[in-house]
Amino acid sequence: MEPYNLTGTLEFILLGLSEDPELQLILFALFLLIYMLTVLGNVLIILAISSDSHLHSPMYFFLYNLSLSDMGFSSTTIPKMLINLHAHNRSITYAECLTQVSFFFLFGGMDSLLLAVMAYDRWVAICHPLYYQVILSPCLCRCLVIVSLFISLVSSQVHCLLVSQLTFCINVEIPHFFCDVPELVKLACSNTTISDIVIFLLGIILGFLPASGIFYSYYKITSSIFRVPSLLGKYKAFSTCGSHLSVVCLFYGTGIGVYLSSTVSSSSRESMVASVMYTMVVPMMNPFIYSLRNRDIKKALWKIVRQIT
């Protein structure tokens, strides 16, 4: 096949999870429900934090931004997939694909970096409680979020630039439900050595480094908790970071699952199914994890419900 000179007329074909018409209807209903729960859950978290002055602290400030990022992350992939399932049209234009790549890495990177920032927040709260308000001042909190946004934005634009430099063949079929960069690199007709190196380095920056920071924070937290003499004191200290730890395990566990499935197995379908977890299920679960394990969030949510009713 002749290499295709990229123009606005190029379209990709998203093969999706299934070609069975009956199964596609089930998938449409399932993913629509997941998306609605994701948006509703994160909007409630945002409203609860905004409306309750008791939740105006660094921990909830970061949670507020994580909820915004989760909604953006889900909105990058699910609406386009729902449109394709409903219209029985699996195509996505070149411009839409670049846009999806850009926002996917923007919000995905934000999630990863914010989880690392929240681990630092828990470290300061447990290991240095007397200096918590001094260390995590409003100015520092805003700076941490802005820096996370800036790094994610640079990463997203680099990924977008890499994809724009690739040369594809006519009628490119992507064995995924969104424009996944590794799949696009595999399908490129041009040399992808530089793209592979840059993607690997960006993966270290947005994946390995935040995960290492989280691991170090929890190492210090665990060491501090073990020095607490009473069992009740240990439980109270650990309960303050239980929700965050659950979200971290869910996010990085599914992300590592996608990486391992794509490395160990040549089947794109296994990687695609694993991707459903961290692109759809994780953003949906985060609000429920934080609301069910946090009394302050539950109180704020009940206030909102009473005001509505």
Residues 245-283: tens digit of each pLDDT: 888 888 887 777 666 655 555 556 666 777 888 788 888
Residues with Cβ within 8 Å of 134's Cβ and at least 6 positions away in sequence, in order, are none
Mean pLDDT along residues 224-250: 77
List of domains in the chain: 11-308 (1.20.1070.10)
Cα(221)–Cα(14) distance, rounded to whole angstroms? 44
Least confident of 7-21, 153-167, 168-182, 189-203: 7-21
The more confident residue out of 168 and 113 is: 113
Quick one: 170 exposed, middle or buried, by C-beta within 10 A (0-12, 13-18, 19+)? exposed
User: What confidence score (pLDDT) does residue 263 get?
Assistant: 55
User: What confidence score (pLDDT) does residue 259 get?
Assistant: 64
The more confident residue out of 271 and 172 is: 172
Nearest to 69 by CA among 117, 113, 111: 111
pLDDT for residue 286 is more than 90: no
The more confident residue out of 268 and 225 is: 225
Token pair 């459903």 in the structure block, residue: 276
User: What confidence score (pLDDT) does residue 205 get?
Assistant: 86
pLDDT for residue 1 is more than 50: no
User: What confidence score (pLDDT) does residue 112 get?
Assistant: 92
Average pLDDT, the chain: 84
**pLDDT confidence bin for 297, thresholds 50/70/90:** confident
pLDDT for residue 141 is more than 70: yes
